[in-house]
Amino acid sequence: MRRFLGSAWFPFLMCLVMAGVSAAAFAMLAPSGESVGNSEIVKWMNIGAWAVGPVMAIPSIIGIGILNLLRRLFRIRRVEVFHPIVVLIGVVPWFVFAWILSEEPPFTPIARAVVEFLTRPMLWGSLVAILLTILLSIPLLLPKKK
């Protein structure tokens, strides 16, 4: 497990989980758009909501890659605790952004559509990726067998 957490597959898998759970959350929540009040906005949000997961995952994997490059340049790659911390640094901003958007009062039809169609899947996708990262990184806190 320690080897997997230190590999490049771990951040890629977490970004893939974030993208997949966001798409699944949109499919499961199935927002109706009745509160939006504009059928044209609802039509475009139904199309765009499927893309919120990959739109979150691509900048996250790029940012995680840059942070891992910096870790390699400064020779702190061997510190095992930093592997999940770097992944969390790439995923947590999406959770915070979704949380802030969900707390904003939606006054316009576009704001109501963003909250209903984009924010909830973004919140679920990032939350599942954060929890999975934390759960998978628990073995790093246990003593290593010699």
SS (H, E, C) the chain: CHHHHCCCHHHHHHHHHHHHHHHHHHHHHCCCCCCCCCHHHHHHHHHHHHHHHHHHHHHHHHHHHHHHHHHHHCCCCCCCCHHHHHHHHHHHHHHHHHHHHHHCCCCCHHHHHHHHHHHHHHHHHHHHHHHHHHHHCHHHHCCCCC
pLDDT for 124? 92
Q: How far is CA 79 from the centre of its chain?
A: 24
Domain ranges of the chain: 2-140
Q: Calculate what percentage of the chain has a pLDDT beyond 70.
A: 97
Q: Which residue has the higher pLDDT, 21 or 80?
A: 21
Number of H helices, E strands in the chain: 7, 0
pLDDT for 36? 78
pLDDT for 106? 81
Between CA 46 and CA 57, with CA 52 as vertex, the angle to 5 degrees is: 160
69-113 tens-digit pLDDT: 888 888 877 777 788 899 999 999 999 999 998 888 888 888 888
pLDDT for 50? 85
Could you tell me the pTM of the whole model?
A: 0.84
pLDDT for 2? 67
Contact 8, 67 (CB under 8 A): no
Q: Which residue has the higher pLDDT, 21 or 74?
A: 21
